[in-house]
Structure 1
Amino acid sequence: MSTPPPPGIYVPVPTFFQSKKSATYNAIASPVDIDTQVAHSIYLAKAGTKGLVILGSTGEAIHLTNKERFNVLSGVRRAFDHEGFKDYPIIAGTATQNIEETVDQLKNAKEAGAQWGLCLVPGYFAGANSQEGIIQWFTAVADQSPIPVMIYHYPGVSNNVKVVPSTYVTLAKHPNIVGCKLSHGDISVHAQIASNPSIDHSKFHTFTGLGQQLLPAISIGVVGAIDGCAGFFPETVVKLYELSIKNQPADEEIKKRRSLQYKLSSMEEIIVKFGTVGIKEAISRLRGLGDPDGTRLPLFRGIPGGEREWSKWKGVVDSMEAEENGA
């Protein structure tokens, strides 16, 4: 059974290229600077970070050839082994759109010494992407990958493609999909994944890609961050992580607060989707006050779809109502 990367702070490292001072400098595509890559990687390992993401978005993966990718990964792996960091985690990024090439990069990453792959959600046809298409894409990749893979959702570089929480629930069941990196600021979506009772969080770890929300993210079940600032202030970011997990309340209290946040975040989606109309609909149906049709133009009647749409919310509404009645 595949295992996820351990909790903690990971660094999405940049790829270093030779400077103008180098005899082999090329203004269009200068060669990679393995020596600097290694020096930076060792510095980060000694500073207490848990692992590295190499060749992610920060690492300009799309700017490198497959040979360069291998040289960077294998160079860092050899340096870690030589410096006494034999089992130090390396997560290799992929950013290609097609399944075959993604799998090839994952195979090369394993050969180079990486233990996990971080696969960017394909977003070229984001407007036409269906959740089922995303599920099948990742399933095909994970079925063929020789190393465990993680879902990398970074809308900013993926044409604003959307991945809904239920898609993570489905993909988390795959034995070779072991986690995700969420590089967006929607903390509610983080909660709907990291605190979701339908996911086995011992086998699927949720990481935030934003250190600026590390403390609140930890409180809802996120296990760590893959954070760019840790590339130059590693000890400070690690310190924040350690303080965030220190003196946590009793297990039952943690479970309860995460359960409540998950339910609330899920319920709030009706407001995200329908705004004031959704609020009025819920108040009318649940508390018998007002009429969801009672709006002023340009708002028009209740939620689109009426009873059929409302029925889709039954599960989360019932769970919130149970909490309300037992509060």
Structure 2
Amino acid sequence: MDSLPTRTNGTNASRGAQASPPPKGIYVPVPTFFAKEGTSAYDAVTPPLDLETQTEHSLFLVKGGIKGLVILGSTGEAIFLRSEERKELIASQRKALDDAGYKDRPIIAGTATQQIDDTLQLVKESKEAGAEYAMVLGPGYFAPSTSQLGIQKWFEAVADRSVLPVMIYHYPGVTNNLYIAPSTFEKLAAHPNIVGTKLSHGIIDDQTLIAANPRIDHEHFYVFTGLGQNLLPVLTIGGVAAIDGLAGVFPRIVVRLFRIYNDSAAKGTTKKDIDEMRLLQYRICEGEKLVAAWGVVGIKEALARVWDMGSKTGGRLPLAGGFQDGEKEWSKWAEVYQGLKKLEEQFKAEGKES
């Protein structure tokens, strides 16, 4: 179940073929890097892509044990990119991974449109650029008036016609609080071209009702948490892993928790394993507070300050500018992030995650 789909053969659910989910592991919703202030290419309104830093970050992640990349999700500022930029970004990172010997690391491309044909066009372009999966955000514009049947039919229409296997992206925070019920997930999980979900909310009982549902084929439909602070509890209820923002800064730390859980489950979990997992989850939760408070702005700030990667002010409007009071705000997080950096470097020296 953990093999990548063949890149040259698109999935066509209408033929009855059942698509495979992405390989189990920790994924990162990568930020999109833009040209820094002060460079010749910089434009304050629409700074161009910085593909050099994008590639630096991608390789930093996969060398740290990250299983694959989610490009053009919410953290990737997808709604601010033109179609040509989307294709250029995906293609550049597919080539960078392949050239560096990471052909086995899939790219999951995000879509965030309301209209079915527009969504399908983005999926088609993503596949042509080298993506292996599509992570499709729910249509939230009319969320208060949208029924569960309407949500089900919308995703089924996309999946029926999609040339890539589809993952459902459930993020109420950016979809006008659109709610997708566990019962709706149960129906959608039966679709041959819907292979999983990213649940970016903290409703642990709903996560349980999806990840532990005995009526869902969990070899075909994978549940990922979008919150690293929920990783350990989600693993215990049947989720496979996380698509996590903090892992974009400290990949080895999040990967280590995932691996300890799976290794200990295979050999027999000891008290030492439990203590180590609890401590790692605690450290992850400390770091995730910045991600929860600031989203992509905080992730870019952390990458620039901790690893000198990208720019603290590297977003597009209205996210350009970073923290409004940079030094004062960072001082709230600096101690935690320096501690996480030391732990990340310790794990790198041990060499277990790459």
TM-score by length of 2: 0.70
Deviation digits for residues 95-141 of structure 1 (CA, Å, limit 9, x no counterpart): 01100010000001100111000000110000000011111111111
Between the aligned partners of 2:82 and 2:160, the Cα distance in structure 1 is 24
Q: CA deviation at 1:81?
A: 1.1
1:66 alignment partner in structure 2: 83
| CA drift at 1:250 | 9.2
1:152-171 equivalences in 2 (<5 Å) = 152-171=169-188
Larger Rg: 1
Pairwise mapping of residues 200-239 of structure 1 onto structure 2 (< 5 A)?
Answer: 200-239=217-256
Higher relative contact order (CA 8 A, sep 6+): 2
Q: Give the match's secondary structure for 1:8.
A: coil
Residues 278-319 of structure 1, C-alpha deviations (whole Å, 9 max, x = no match): xxxxxxxxxxxxxxxxxxxxxxxxxxxxxxxxxxxxxxxxxx
Q: Deviations over 1:153-188 (max 9, x none)?
A: 000000001100010111111110000000000111
CA distance in 2, matches of 1:12, 1:164: 24
Where does residue 190 of structure 2 map in the other structure?
A: 173
**Where in structure 1 are there 5+ consecutive unaligned residues?**
252-327
User: In angstroms, what is the RMSD of aligned CA positions?
Assistant: 1.2
How far, CA to CA, are the matches of 2:166 and 2:26 in structure 1?
18
1:76 aligns with 2:78: no
Aligned with 1:85 (options 99, 102, 109): 102
Tell me the amino acid that sits aligned with residue 76 of structure 1.
Q
Runs of 4+ in 1 over 4 A off after TM superposition: none
2:330 aligned residue: none
Cα distance in structure 1, aligned partners of 2:261 and 2:236: 8
Give the equivalent residue in structure 1 for 2:6.
none
How far apart in 2 are the matches of 1:24 and 1:209?
A: 33
1:237-280: CA deviation from partner (whole Å, max 9, x where unpaired)? 100111122322799xxxxxxxxxxxxxxxxxxxxxxxxxxxxx
CA distance in 2, matches of 1:77, 1:247: 33
SS in 1 for 2:143: coil
Aligned residues: 251
Counterpart of 1:140, as a letter, is A
Partner of 2:162: 145
Aligned counterpart in structure 1 of residue 207 of structure 2, from 182, 190, 209: 190
**Distance in 2 of aligned mates of 1:114 and 1:91:** 6
Q: Name the amino acid aligned to 2:108.
A: I
Q: 2-side partners of 1:250 and 1:122: how far apart?
A: 43
Partner of 1:45: 62
| Alignment-mate amino acid for residue 5 of structure 1 | P
Structure 2 CA distance for aligned equivalents of residues 249 and 65 of structure 1: 45
Task: Give the equivalent residue in structure 2 for 1:246.
Answer: 263
- Judging changes above 3 Å, is the alpha-carbon distance between structure 1 residues 143 and 41 closer, same or farther for their aligned structure 2 residues? same
What letter corresponds to residue 152 of structure 2 in structure 1? Answer: I
Identity of aligned residues (%): 56
Task: Please give the secondary structure, in 2, of the residue aligned with 1:192.
Answer: helix
CA shift, 1:87, in A, is: 2.3
Q: CA deviation at 1:8?
A: 1.1
Helix, strand or coil: the match of 2:139?
coil
Q: CA deviation at 1:21?
A: 2.4
The separation in 1 between residues aligned to 2:81 and 2:68, in whole angstroms, is 21
The corresponding residue for 1:109 is 126
Q: Which one-letter code corresponds to 1:200 in the other structure?
A: D
**Secondary structure at 2:38 match in 1:** coil
| Deviation for aligned residue 1:61 | 0.4
